[in-house]
């Protein structure tokens, strides 16, 4: 299949409507709710109307249950299992955009989207929104759990610095979200974009037994009448982005979740490695990385064990020559870690486990829990070691 011209590609993106994809392609029945539309999420077995929101003005769909956001192309790729070029050709056929002589797919036609005028971005005062959430660690199940881990004194000290002085991890004290962790998103200009609230249990895992365990600060402020989304837009950014200029020579390490970024920061020097989070597997985009790219920073990605392929595809779309993908999770992963393991899980296991023996290394290389008896016997007899 011929490569699509970049100018045509951009024309397709400009014309594509998330409303068309969600309704025509994914079959979701949408209902107006204020300035947005809502329906049942097509990406999981959703039974609660209200968690899946579609914004016509922002041209995105968000599920507060999945914790993910999709543009028209993302939604087609995930919902209909299309690759990137196929999704582009699908949309081109819908909006009658000519690409080349390759036969166009049969798609229900629609008028190209007319982009809404871009609203100014909203920022919040750190004193009014961040400050009240600090110094409530004893009320926060996640932070209490993390600080109770059997870490070396230097790692525990660094974790406390990360919580209190670097990432300003907060704790909600209000209403139904009391005790929830607040991951503040502060950009590279030190402007507070928003905060992500998440409920955790005392064992450090997400409290997914709740009907709702995830929300954004700007959404709550809108419900409280403290922000009008029709006048200003809230735009998310990388968690930890505000540290970019604080540590100008550090290698930027990116993981999916904020919790992982926080944990990893306990084991490294921020002058050398600076941890940030995309706040979602699908959120690794060039726009999210734009401040890093413009600053010509070197970026190393640490995808979850099951996320390598998705992030490798995203890297090709981002097209930045100072970005790479680490294989550390795959290298040190063992079956007991599970398919959802990330670099933070690996780090915690390695620091809490006894020193890895030569036989342990063999088992890890073979993807087994223990070294095969015949191999262990041979290693003992010949005093063999493995180069790691």
CATH code at 286? 3.40.1360.10
N-to-C CA span, the chain: 42
Q: Is residue 338 part of a domain?
A: yes
> Are residue 80 and residue 130 in the same domain, yes or no?
no
Distance CA 299, CA 301 (A): 7
Q: Identify whether residues 214 and 263 lie together within a single domain.
A: no
Confidence (pLDDT) at 242: 97
How many whole angstroms separate alpha carbon 228 and alpha carbon 236? 17
Residues 265 and 215 in one domain: no
For residue 285, give Cα distances in angstroms to 237, 299, 380. 11, 13, 50
The Cα 340–Cα 29 span in angstroms is 32
Domain membership of residue 361 (yes or no) is no
Q: Say yes or no to pLDDT of 50 above 80.
A: no
In a domain, 57, yes or no: yes
pLDDT for position 354: 60
Do 184 and 247 share a domain, yes or no?
no
The proportion of the chain whose per-residue pLDDT surpasses 90, expressed as a percent, equals: 56
Determine if the pTM surpasses 0.75. Answer: no
Q: Average pLDDT, stretch 250-263? A: 96
Statement: residue 353 has pLDDT above 60? no
Mean per-residue pLDDT for 243-268?
Answer: 96
Asked whether the beta carbons of 325 and 308 are under 8 A apart, the reply is yes
CATH code, domain carrying 27? 3.90.580.10
DSSP E strand stretches across 57-129: 60-63, 68-70
Q: Which of 90-104, 152-166, 229-243, 369-383 has the highest mean pLDDT?
A: 152-166
Q: Assess whether 218 and 247 both reside in one domain.
A: no
Q: What is the pLDDT of residue 175?
A: 87
Residue burial 135-166, b: 16+ Cβ < 10 Å; e: rest:
ebbeebbbbbebeeeebeeebbebbeebbeeb
What does residue 150 show for φ and ψ, rounded to 5 degrees? -75, 70
Q: Is 129 part of any domain?
A: yes
How far is the C-alpha of 314 from the C-alpha of 130, rounded, in Å?
A: 32
pLDDT of residue 134: 94
* Residue 186: inside a domain: yes
For residue 136, the 8-state DSSP code is -
- The verdict on residue 335 lying in a domain is yes
* pLDDT given for residue 143 in this prediction: 96
Q: Average the pLDDT over each of 141-145, 264-268, 306-310, 383-387 and give the range with the smallest value.
A: 383-387
As a whole number, the mean pLDDT across the chain is: 90
Specify the number of domains making up the chain. 3
Domain for residue 113, yes or no? Answer: no
In this predicted model, which residue has the larger pLDDT, 326 or 45?
Answer: 326
State the Cα–Cα distance between residues 188 and 239, nearest whole angstrom: 10
What's the average model confidence in pLDDT over 246-266? Answer: 96
115 in a domain, yes or no? no
- Same domain? For 175 and 186 the reply is yes
229 and 138, same domain (yes or no): yes
For 346, the token pair is: 């690996």
| CA distances, 157 to each of 162, 163, 268 (Å) | 9, 10, 12
Burial of 2 (0-12, 13-18, 19+ CB in 10 A): exposed
CB–CB of 256/307 below 8 Å?
A: yes
Domain of 65 in residue numbering reads as 6-94
**Coil, helix or strand at residue 285:** coil
pLDDT value, residue 338: 86
Residues 283-309 have a mean pLDDT of 93
User: Among the residues of 285-342, which ranges form H helices?
Assistant: 286-294, 308-318, 328-332
Given a cut of 90, whether residue 380 has pLDDT beyond it is no
């Amino acid at each position: 299949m011929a490569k699509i011209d970049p100018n045509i590609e951009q024309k397709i993106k400009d014309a594509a409507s998330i409303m068309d994809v969600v309704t025509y392609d994914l079959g979701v029945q949408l209902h107006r709710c204020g300035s947005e539309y809502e329906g049942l999420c097509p990406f999981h077995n959703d039974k609660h109307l209200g968690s899946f929101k579609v914004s016509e003005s922002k041209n995105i769909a968000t599920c507060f249950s999945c914790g993910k956001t999709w543009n028209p192309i993302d939604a087609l790729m995930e919902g209909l299992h299309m690759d990137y070029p196929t999704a582009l050709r699908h949309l081109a056929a819908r909006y009658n955009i000519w690409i080349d002589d390759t036969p166009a797919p049969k798609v229900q036609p629609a008028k190209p989207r007319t982009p809404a005028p871009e609203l100014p971005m909203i920022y919040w005062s750190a004193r009014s929104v961040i400050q009240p959430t600090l110094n409530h660690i004893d009320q926060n199940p996640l932070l209490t759990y993390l600080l109770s881990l059997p870490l070396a004194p230097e790692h525990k000290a660094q974790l406390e610095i990360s919580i209190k002085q670097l990432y300003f991890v907060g704790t909600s004290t209000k209403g139904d979200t009391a005790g929830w962790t607040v991951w503040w998103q502060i950009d590279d200009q030190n402007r507070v974009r928003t905060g992500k609230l998440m409920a955790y249990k005392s064992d450090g895992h997400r409290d997914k037994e709740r009907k709702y365990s995830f929300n954004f600060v700007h959404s709550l402020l809108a419900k409280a009448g403290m922000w009008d989304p029709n006048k200003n837009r809230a735009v998310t950014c990388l968690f930890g982005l505000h540290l970019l200029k604080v540590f100008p020579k550090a290698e930027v390490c990116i993981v999916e979740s904020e919790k992982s970024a926080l944990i990893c920061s306990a084991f490294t020097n921020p002058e050398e490695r600076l941890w940030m989070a995309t706040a979602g597997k699908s959120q690794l985009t060039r726009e999210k990385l734009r401040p890093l790219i413009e600053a010509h920073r070197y970026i190393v990605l640490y995808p979850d064990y099951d996320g390598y392929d998705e992030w490798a595809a995203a890297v090709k779309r981002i097209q930045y020559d100072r970005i790479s993908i680490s294989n550390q999770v795959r290298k040190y992963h063992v079956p007991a870690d599970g398919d959802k393991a990330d670099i933070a899980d690996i780090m915690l296991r390695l620091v809490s486990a006894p020193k890895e023996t030569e036989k342990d290394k063999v088992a890890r290389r073979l993807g087994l829990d223990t070294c095969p008896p015949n191999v262990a016997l041979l290693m003992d007899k010949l005093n063999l070691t493995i180069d790691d």
